Structure 1
Amino acid sequence: MDALGPALVGGILASTSGISVPPPQDPIPPARNSWGYTLGAQDGGSPGSDGGKAVRDPQGTSRTADHSSQMGPHDCRTLSDNVQVCIPSHAHGGAAKPSPAELALTRWTRLPIPAPVVRTAPPRRAGGLVGLPEWFWVTNWRPLTARAAARGVWARMTARPQGMTIDPGYGERAVHCPGPGTAYDNSLPAASQHTRCSYTFTRSSLYQPGHAYRVRVQVVWGGTWIGSDGSSGVLPPTTRSTTLRLRIAEAQALYGRGRT
Structure 2
Amino acid sequence: MLTAEAGTSRIKVTQKTGPSSGRAAQGLAPVDPQWKPPACWYEPVATPEQLKAGVDKLKQGGDLVRVTPSLSWGEELMVEHYEKGGQRSGGEAGYENFNLGEDGHFWRGVINPANRTDLDAYECERTLFWQAAGSVPDDAHAPTPDILAAYAYDKIKVPDTKVELKPATRSTVNLPTWVWLDKGDFAEVQVRAELPGTGLWAETTAKPVGLHLEPGTGDAETHPASGECVISKDGSIGTPYAKGTSQPPPPCGITYLRATSGTPYPLKAAVTWAISWQGSGGTGGDLPDGTFETTQDITVQEIQSINR
TM-score range, shorter chain: 0.5 to 0.7
**Contact (CA 8 Å) 1:184, 1:193: kept in 2 or not?**
no
Matched pairs, number: 176
**Contact (CA 8 Å) 1:128, 1:248: kept in 2 or not?**
yes
Given candidates 175, 178, 194, the residue that maps to 1:135 is 178
Aligned-pair CA distance for 1:109: 1.2
Describe the shift of the 1:101–1:229 C-alpha distance in structure 2 as closer, same or farther (beyond 3 A): same
- Corresponding residue for 2:254? 199
Q: What is the one-letter code of the residue matched to 2:186? A: W
Question: SS in structure 1 opposite 2:159?
Answer: coil
**Contact (CA 8 Å) 2:217, 2:265: kept in 1 or not?**
yes
Question: SS in structure 1 opposite 2:217?
Answer: coil
Structure with the larger helix share: 2
Distance 1:213 1:191 in 2: 21
**Contact (CA 8 Å) 2:157, 2:189: kept in 1 or not?**
no
Distance 1:198 1:122 in 2: 11
Question: SS in structure 2 opposite 1:246?
Answer: strand
Alignment of 1:204-215 (within 5 A): 204-205=259-260, 207-209=261-263, 212-215=264-267
Describe the shift of the 1:220–1:99 C-alpha distance in structure 2 as closer, same or farther (beyond 3 A): same
Given candidates 114, 119, 129, the residue that maps to 1:93 is 129
- Corresponding residue for 1:238? 290
Alignment of 1:67-146 (within 5 A): 93=129, 96=137, 98-124=143-169, 127-139=170-182, 140-146=185-191
Matched, 1:181 2:242: no
TM-score under structure 2 normalisation? 0.49
Matched, 1:248 2:300: yes
Describe the shift of the 1:225–1:178 C-alpha distance in structure 2 as closer, same or farther (beyond 3 A): same
Aligned-pair CA distance for 1:79: 6.5
Which structure has the larger Rg?
A: 1
Alignment of 1:37-52 (within 5 A): none
Question: SS in structure 1 opposite 2:158?
Answer: coil
Distance 2:238 2:302 in 1: 25
Distance 1:251 1:238 in 2: 39
Distance 2:122 2:248 in 1: 53
Question: SS in structure 1 opposite 2:296?
Answer: strand
**Contact (CA 8 Å) 1:177, 1:197: kept in 2 or not?**
yes
TM-score under structure 1 normalisation? 0.58
* RMSD, aligned α-carbons: 3.3
**Contact (CA 8 Å) 1:116, 1:217: kept in 2 or not?**
no
Which deviates more from structure 2 when the two are superposed, residues 84-93 or residues 153-162? 84-93
Aligned-pair CA distance for 1:155: 0.6
* Identity %, equivalent residues: 27
Structure 1 unaligned regions, length at least 5: 1-73
Distance 1:78 1:235 in 2: 20
- Corresponding residue for 2:268? 216
Structure having greater relative contact order (Cα 8 Å, sep ≥ 6): 2
Distance 2:111 2:306 in 1: 71
Q: Deviations over 1:126-177 (max 9, x none)?
A: x211111001112322111111110321111211112111111124576221
